[in-house]
């Protein structure tokens, strides 16, 4: 399971690589897809915990799923910017220095 920091670091590395824009976009979308799959799995776990009436676990998983979906959208936005030729540094990406 990827953490938010790992995803952001991968995005930053891919963003800095000297690749053709389409290859960058494909690599970014692969990262986004893995985040989306994680969110889907956690959403399923959340549904199971809701059936067990475990409110705290369900609420925690809700927050995690929302954060993963927002992260997924951020990665897709970076890919879209690369594809459109607008390449300002991604928002919230830590420096690698």
pLDDT digits (tens, 9 = 90+) for 53-90: 777 888 888 899 999 999 999 999 999 988 888 765 55
Asked if residue 90 is part of any domain, the answer here is no
- Residue 94 maps to a domain: no
Residue 51 lies in a domain: yes
Which domain range does residue 74 map to?
Answer: 4-84
Domain total for the chain?
1
**φ, ψ for residue 2 (rounded to 5)?**
-85, 140
Q: Which two tokens mark 9?
A: 């670091």
Return the residue matching tokens 């993963």.
Answer: 68
Sign of CA dihedral 26, 27, 29, 30: positive
Residue 77 domain-assigned? yes
What the block records as the tokens of 32 is 């986004």
Instruction: Let me know if residue 92 belongs to a domain.
Output: no
Interhelix angle 4-16/21-51, nearest 10 degrees: 170
Give the side-chain half-sphere CA count within 13 A for 22: 0
**Placement of tokens 């995690």 in the chain:** 64
Question: How confident is residue 7, by pLDDT bands cut at 50, 70 and 90?
Answer: very high
**Would you place residue 16 in the very low, low, confident or very high pLDDT band (cuts 50, 70, 90)?**
confident
Report pLDDT digits (tens) over 24-59. 999 999 999 999 999 999 988 888 777 767 778 888
């Amino acid at each position: 399971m990827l953490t938010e920091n790992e995803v952001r670091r991968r995005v930053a590395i891919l963003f800095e690589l000297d690749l053709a824009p389409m290859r960058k976009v494909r690599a970014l979308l692969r990262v986004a897809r893995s985040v989306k799959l994680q969110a889907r799995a956690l959403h399923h776990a959340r549904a199971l915990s809701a059936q067990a009436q475990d409110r705290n676990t369900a609420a925690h998983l809700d927050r995690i799923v929302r954060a993963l979906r927002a992260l997924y959208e951020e990665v897709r936005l970076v890919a879209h910017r690369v594809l459109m030729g607008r390449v300002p540094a991604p928002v919230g990406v830590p420096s690698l220095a």
